[in-house]
Amino acid sequence: MNRKGLFTKIILLLFLFFTFYIGNLVFFPQQLPSNEYRITVNKNQSLSKLAVLLEDQKVIKSSKVFLYLLELLRKDKKINAGVYILKHPISLWGIVFRLSNGQPDQISITILEGWTFLQLKQYIDTLEDIQHITTNQTETDIKNTLKINLPNLEGVFLPDTYFIAPNQTDLEIYQQAYKLMQLKIESLYSNRSPIAHVNSPYQLLILASLVQKETNNVTDMYLISTVFNNRLRVGMKLQDDPAVFYGLRGRDKVTRSDFLVDTPYNTYLHTGLTPTPICIPGLDALKASANPMDKQNVYYFIGIGGGRTKFSETYKDHMGAVSKYLKKSSK
């Protein structure tokens, strides 16, 4: 074999090796560190630091090739801030186009109706991809920072799914949910039924929280709201069990004797609404509380199982329902 032929074969082998090497770096899918790997691109993100991070976490094999490919394809100016969620093995080539397609995944958080503020804060404190500045703050600290002039933060955040940007603060989430709840209750209060017995948007919020804790059935919400509004109108005690339970927070078990414990939330001992909401009410409970049905003789109800409720006009009928359904459920 002459030198020319040998040199040609060496060049060919080097070319094949280089092609295979680059092809492996660029086009071969890389296993991700987790089932849902998140790439967070901040505003004005340094691409070189991002590339090093991806290489360190073994998402890509070469940060230099990644940066070169971005520049070569003119994609380095097209990467938007956001969170990019990767669920399957992906190549470096695929990551370049995923980050530059202008469609980052949105971070979604969901505030659930029926939650207490404690449950909401525990949820927000565990969220990823946001800045936590309230983790070690008390409820009063957060209330003062948000300049909320209410007794506490119970029930004041609108339950919904929110889409947020990466590195948004937890305080901004609270602020957004609070403002939306204020707009909602003020609108419903302004357009409330003439027979709704509430005297402020905050009282509407309190009433809705009681309704929320009684049932998830929308039809029953309107009837329970009717009972509560009727009782408020004539000065009857609401006798709402969830409110009593709320006032006895910290107890593992609640017995019948605990209903004699005097707390501001004991609606068996005190007339009128509780001093604050007892949970976050949903939109259905808010609407029901602002629009009771025109049945001004209905004063009693009892849960009869299966998510259903039995309503009565007289105490005699109510006690008959209690006897019937409680005996049935205790068998």
The Cα–Cα gap between 289 and 277 comes to 13
Q: Over 60: is that where the pLDDT of 202 sits? A: yes
pLDDT mean over 73-92: 86
Q: pLDDT higher for 29 or 154? A: 154
The Cα–Cα gap between 24 and 13 comes to 16
What is the gyration radius of the CA atoms in the chain, in angstroms? 30
- Percent with pLDDT over 90 in the chain: 53
Q: Over 90: is that where the pLDDT of 122 sits? A: yes
How many residues can be counted in the chain?
A: 331
Q: Over 70: is that where the pLDDT of 203 sits? A: yes
pLDDT mean over 84-109: 86
Q: Over 50: is that where the pLDDT of 139 sits? A: yes
Segment among 8-12, 89-93, 99-103, 117-121 with least mean pLDDT: 8-12
Domain boundaries, the chain: 7-99, 107-185, 191-330
Segment among 13-22, 62-71, 112-121, 223-232 with least mean pLDDT: 13-22
User: Quick one: angle between helices 283-290 and 170-190, nearest 10?
Assistant: 30
pLDDT band at 331; cut points 50, 70, 90: very low
pLDDT mean over 209-228: 93
Q: Over 70: is that where the pLDDT of 224 sits? A: yes
State the first-to-last Cα distance of the chain, in angstroms, to the nearest integer. Answer: 99
The Cα–Cα gap between 212 and 289 comes to 10
The Cα–Cα gap between 100 and 144 comes to 41
The pLDDT assigned to 21 comes to 65
The pLDDT assigned to 204 comes to 98
The pLDDT assigned to 180 comes to 97
pLDDT mean over 32-44: 83
Question: DSSP string covering 182-245, please?
Answer: HHHHHHHHHT--TT---SSHHHHHHHHHHHHHH-S-HHHHHHHHHHHHHHHHHT-----HHHHH
Q: Label the pairing between strands 308-312 and 300-305.
A: antiparallel
Among 34-48, 86-100, 259-273, 313-327, the range with the most confident prediction by mean pLDDT is 259-273
Residue with tokens 């060919």: 12
CATH class of the domain defined by 7-99: alpha beta
Q: Label the pairing between strands 161-164 and 107-110.
A: antiparallel
